[in-house]
Chain A
Amino acid sequence: MAELTYRDAVARGIAQEMERDRNVVFLGEDIAKAGGVFKATVGLYDKFGPTRVRDTPISEQAILGAAMGAAMTGLRPIAEIMFADFAAVCFDYIANEFPKLRYMTNGQLGCPLVVRTGNGGGARFGAQHSQSIENWTMMIPGLKVVAPSSPIDVVGLLAAAVRDNDPVIFHEHKALYAIKGEVPDGEILDKLGTAKILRSGRDATILALGLMVHRAMEAAERLARDHGIDCEVIDVRSLVPLDTNTILNSISKTGRLFTVEENPRLCGWGAEIASIAVDEVFWDLDGPIVRITTPHIPLPAADHLEDLALPNADRIVERISRVMNGSRL
């Protein structure tokens, strides 16, 4: 068992899969010789060489298009889109090409690839390098959407994504690259579509993803200590496939649902889960479903403004304690 950073876990996960399967190849901007702008791919070029770990020009369409062409003819590429915001530059592949290939060809072709990308805010990068884009990708039939929050999940879910026969968008959170966690030695393989209950509780269910998992956990400890509210915290981990069993069971148990989302409020994934909960476990609910999100704004660069925009433990505690005490919003 070793303690690894989230960024080292990325390299470990890629290396594990490249060692296992020669058809796994890796391409992206600055990922090879430079080891990635977030240093998440350091060592891979030295280990696997220039034919398997390839630097590309700044050409996001070529990166995803080439990954798709390779995937549909037999390889299992991992493609990096450096900042998640840049996915917009190559959205044709994400929205029109990968996810529809199998359906349109009546199953003749598939697209087993992974797009890794640095998602999320908190690093003072401003509105075009800080977006949380998981909602952009969640609504497209044919894609799978994963967002790990810990080093061990990075390795296990990345391995599962590489071995999956569908295109997977793998959202790494750029504000988590430096966190550390225990990662066992040897091969790690997780399962897509499985949420993780990180803290068991009886009073309310909190759902979170990526960076927000850490903030939700901090809030849950404080809610228990300072307000006597015992929250169950679930790391959703994968939006597609979505582990509705774990989520709905928890809501039925606690009777309350709060979602903590980093993305702008409108059409967030929490709204979708809230809708599912109302459809399927409405009679188990004891109060309103509350979504804690970023306001519907682009993210500012200034420290205090960005901090004001993103949900944090203070705000989560405040919102949940008020609602649990019967206050109206």
Chain B
Amino acid sequence: MIIATTRMDKMAAKKTAGPLTLQNDDLDLETRMELFRLQVEIRVCEKKANDLFFQNLIKGTSHLSLGQEAIAAGVATAMRPGDKSFCTYRGHAHTLARGVPMEKVLGELMLRDNGLMRGKGGSMHLTSVEHGVMGSYAIIGAHLPIACGAAWRAQYLGDDDVSVCFFGDGTTNIGAFHEALNFAAIWKLPVVFICENNLYMEYTPIADVTAVEYPAADRASAYGLERIIVDGNDADAVFRVAQSAFDKARAGDGPSLIECLTYRHSGHSRADPAKYRPEGELEQWLERDPIKIYRDRLREFGVSDQQLEAIEAEAKRKVEAATEVCKASPPAPTELLTADVYANGGWEWRN
């Protein structure tokens, strides 16, 4: 807990953690408006998902990233079409940030036929290959080596796409994290690892179960990588650091590991009211809400309240329209039960 407060203080004092200094003159307004729009859309969509849960229209589980929108928006905006992203079960934000339509995401969360996988994957497995979203992986750490493989393919075939792998702070203590980083480093793969350190490994403070203060960045040097820490609540800062990592990857200079410091406003999953958090911690972080930060910044750049409100109103309109589409969509047809187990489209394991 103390670490959380300490980190808040550090960030408030320095505006950003780590060596990066906040520059406000290198991003054009168009990019900034896009970053704002994305963060707002992710926020309203996830809040709607939460409401739909309480109406029992979304079943199973769901892991929201309220408060972490700046990372998905910042990284995705720095990506090019064709780049591949690999998400976790907390992957709604990253999927939306790549331009996947809300109704496809909400449809999948509602397990309807109009969803990304027609209800066969659910909240934890969002995939949209046409948008470069190469799956969401529900086993902690599994997708780091997989992202290495996609990057290896790019390197081998001479493709110029980069693979991006989002994961949480809890992942840094599983073996696959270390195997993947070593593998990516020795093969100099064009892969960018983005650790979203939201202070909690599911229900437990990451500091209670980790030997170093910055669970990703403090281990970077073990793989010959630069120690990179960024304020994950500042979309501009995330965008800059991601862009520089992509440039490095595309130049053939290998992987990067970026630790983004952020905070999860809600519990680990739908089932978690997050009562383990110390009093006042959430309120402190709400002061550093990435959308609030960004709205203030855009105002400084002369964007009017009217313009900002229009973006917010449009996001709300979109999410309401998407919800209605999903509600009207039937569940998937029953023949999907046995479809696509094998490449011939079927499930037969005998002749």
Contact = CB atoms under 8 A, between A and B. Distances in A.
A25 interface: yes
B153 A107 contact: no
Contacts of A63: 145
Given A56-B183, A240-B349, A108 B117 contact: yes
Interface in A92-148: 92-93, 96-97, 101-110, 112, 141-142, 144
Contacts of B325: none
Interface string A222-235: 00000000000000
B142 A96 contact: yes
Given A66-B148, A92-B142, A104-B117, A164 B134 contact: no
A66 B149 contact: yes
B336 A106 contact: yes
Interface string A39-74: 000000000000110101101011111111111111
Given A106-B336, A107-B339, A66 B145 contact: yes
B341 A142 contact: yes
B55 interface: no
Nearest to A54: B187
Nearest to A165: B343
B343 A164 contact: yes
Given A59-B182, A61-B175, A61-B176, A70 B150 contact: yes
Nearest to A243: B351
A61 B149 CA distance: 11
A57 B182 contact: yes
Contacts of A104: 117, 120-121, 125, 127, 135
B225 interface: no
B342 interface: yes
Interface string B126-167: 011100001101010011111111111110110000010000
B340 to A, nearest CB: 4
Contacts of B153: 69-70, 73-75
A321 interface: no
A241 interface: yes
Interface centre among A70, A240, A245 (most CB of B within 10 A): A70
A197 interface: no
A57 B176 CA distance: 13
A73 B150 contact: yes
Contacts of B339: 103, 106-107
A66 B152 contact: yes
Interface in B311-351: 336, 339-343, 345, 347-351
Contacts of B183: 56-57, 59, 62, 66
Interface of A is mostly: mixed
Interface centre among B139, B187, B343 (most CB of A within 10 A): B343
Contact of A69 (B163, B186, B341, B342): B163
A77 B150 CA distance: 12
B350 A97 contact: no
Contacts of A69: 145-153, 163
Contacts of B150: 69-70, 72-73
A189 interface: no
B343 A65 contact: no
Interface size class on chain A is 35 or more
B343 A112 contact: yes
B340 A102 contact: yes
Contacts of B345: 107
B332 to A, nearest CB: 9
B179 interface: yes
A72 B134 contact: yes
B343 to A, nearest CB: 3
Contacts of A97: 137, 139, 142, 146
Interface string A147-165: 0000000000000000011
Contacts of B350: 193, 241-244, 276
Nearest to A27: B152
Given A112-B343, A241-B348, A103 B120 contact: yes
Contact of B127 (A74, A105, A112): A105
Contacts of B146: 65-66, 68-69, 72, 97
B240 interface: no
A96 B44 CA distance: 32
A172 interface: no
A79 to B, nearest CB: 10
Interface in B266-299: none
B349 A65 contact: no
Given A62-B179, A106-B118, A73 B343 contact: no
Contacts of B118: 106
B120 A92 contact: no
Given A73-B134, A105-B125, A65 B117 contact: no
Contacts of A112: 343
A186 B3 CA distance: 66
Contacts of B179: 57, 59, 61-62, 65
B94 interface: no
B40 interface: no
Contacts of B157: 74-75
Interface of B: 84, 116-118, 120-121, 125, 127-129, 134-135, 137, 139, 142-154, 156-157, 163, 175-176, 179-180, 182-183, 186-187, 336, 339-343, 345, 347-351
A-B pairs, top 9 by smallest CB distance, nearest first, are: A69-B149, A65-B145, A165-B343, A66-B149, A62-B179, A59-B179, A69-B146, A106-B117, A69-B150
Given A69-B151, A73-B149, 8 more contacts: A51-B156, A61-B179, A62-B145, A65-B142, A93-B142, A105-B120, A242-B350, A244-B351
19 contacts: A61-B145, A62-B148, A63-B145, A65-B149, A66-B145, A69-B150, A72-B150, A75-B153, A96-B139, A102-B341, A104-B121, A104-B135, A105-B121, A105-B135, A107-B339, A109-B134, A142-B342, A240-B349, A241-B350
